[in-house]
Amino acid sequence: MNRKTITLTLAVLVVLGLGLVPQIIKKDNIINLAILVFIYVMMAVSWNFIGGIAGQTNLGHAAFFGLGFLIARMLWTEHRWPLFPCLLLGALVPVGFAMLIGIPAFKLKGAYFAIGTLAMAQILFITVRNLFPMMSFLPGDELAAYSLRPRYYLAFGSTLLTIAAAIWISRSRWGLGMRALREEATAAESLGVNVLGHKLMAFGLSAFFGGLAGGVFAYYAAGYYYFFPFAPTWTFDAVMATYIGGMGTIIGPILGAVFYVVVKEILALRLVEVHLIVFGVLFILIVLFLPGGLVQVWDKIRHLQAPSSRQQAPEPVPCSPDAVLHSGEN
């Protein structure tokens, strides 16, 4: 059995195992936590399209999540559309928004792009807060029948879709182009890469799956303000999860999101008074000792076990094309 078969088998087992979780685990707190993990995985993986793979630090990701939430929630709860068209529109509208702001925003570079996208998201946050200040509750019939099981499966399915898109893009010419422009846009352009087109592609994918995560959250949240999902914390959480896991990789944002949600929750339940301090220290330790994120753990272990191989294989840098290629070379 070769490595590819082993990996595929393992992946299928993981998917099947996760698919059986609601049937096996009866405790709603575990199901609820799993839904949050899925949503954060979607947020981190979707941010990674533009921030990790294409190397454009977008600090306005909450705008996509918020738009997805707003559109899906309004259509579903107030206009009583069927859920799936609401989710689809909730994912497509952020893409339109990304294209609209992407063309002018990509004239900015580096920190200016980051500040520009942060400002854009804040403007949207304030505008939506002023336009829709009211709280949104699920309709009475939905509240009465509220169950976490269907929400789990929706979040799980959407997460699989997001990860599949990330794997596809990392193996495609688009992905290669994105990584090339991340390393050196001018050089990439000179080799025939359409820089703006690739940036817009990455931005669009990021917006689509960020919006889809917002739609899933719209289905999950029983009582919530329309404007809360536009809050910058949704951006920073996605960025932090990606940094913790490993930017620019496929697995990194997934690992980071799992770690970010699960460890925070365990600490909050076990160390009520000091949980924020402990998590802060943990985050600093990861940044200090694993600058490439949790995906570096395996490399560290491997190098410890086989010191001689260290001389042959260079230390992988997760943000480099190597790391991305490595993770997507299956």
Partner 1 sequence: MKRLSVVIAIALIMGLMVASCGPTPTPTTAPPTQPPVQPTQTPVQPTQTPAKPAPEAIEIGASIPLTGKYGSLGVQVKAGYELAVQDINAAGGVYVKEFDQRIPIRLTIYDDESDPTKAVSKLEALYAEQNVVAYLGGAASDMHAATVPIAEKNKVPYCGVAFALWKIHQQGFRYLFSPFPKSPQQAEDTFKILNAAIPEGQRPTKVAIFQETTDWGVELGGLWKENAQKYGYEIVAYETYTPRAESFSDMILRAKNAGAEALLAVPNQPDGIAMVKQMSELGWTPKFMLLIRAPENPAWYEALGPLGDYVTIFPGWSYKVKWPGVEELNQKHQAAYGRPADVLVGPAYTCALVVANAIERAGTLDREAIRDAMAATNLKETPIGPVQFREDGTGIVLNPMVQWQKGQIEVVWPPEHASAPLAYPAPPFDQR
Q: Find the shortest distance in angstroms from Cβ 216 to partner 1.
A: 13
Q: Find the shortest distance in angstroms from Cβ 113 to partner 1.
A: 27
Select 268 or 287, whichever has its Cβ closest to partner 1: 268
Select 289 or 298, whichever has its Cβ closest to partner 1: 298
User: DSSP readout, 21-69?
Assistant: HHHH---HHHHHHHHHHHHHHHHHHHHHIIIIIS----S-HHHHHHHHH
**Tokens standing for residue 247:** 């930017």
Q: Find the shortest distance in angstroms from Cβ 146 to partner 1.
A: 5
Which residues 57-116 are close enough to bind partner 1 by CB under 8 A?
A: none
Q: Is 270 in the site for partner 1 (CB under 8 A)?
A: yes
Q: In whole angstroms, what is the distance from residue 289 CA to residue 299 CA?
A: 12
Radius of gyration (Cα) for the chain, nearest Å? 20
Whether the CB-CB separation of 98 and 64 falls below 8 Å is answered with yes
Q: Compose the 134-163 pattern: x for residues touching partner 1 by CB under 8 A, - for all others.
A: xx-xx-x--x--xx----------------
Q: Find the shortest distance in angstroms from Cβ 91 to partner 1.
A: 20
Q: In whole angstroms, what is the distance from residue 70 CA to residue 85 CA?
A: 14
Select 113 or 220, whichever has its Cβ closest to partner 1: 220
One residue of 38, 97, 228, 260 binding partner 1 per CB under 8 A: 228
**Tokens standing for residue 157:** 């399915």
Q: Is 27 in the site for partner 1 (CB under 8 A)?
A: yes
Which residues 241-260 are close enough to bind partner 1 by CB under 8 A?
A: 250-251, 254-255, 258-259
Q: In whole angstroms, what is the distance from residue 238 CA to residue 218 CA?
A: 18
Q: Is 25 in the site for partner 1 (CB under 8 A)?
A: yes
Terminal alpha carbon distance of the chain: 14
Q: Is 30 in the site for partner 1 (CB under 8 A)?
A: yes
One residue of 262, 278, 282, 325 binding partner 1 per CB under 8 A: 262
DSSP β-ladder status, 223-225 and 135-137 = antiparallel
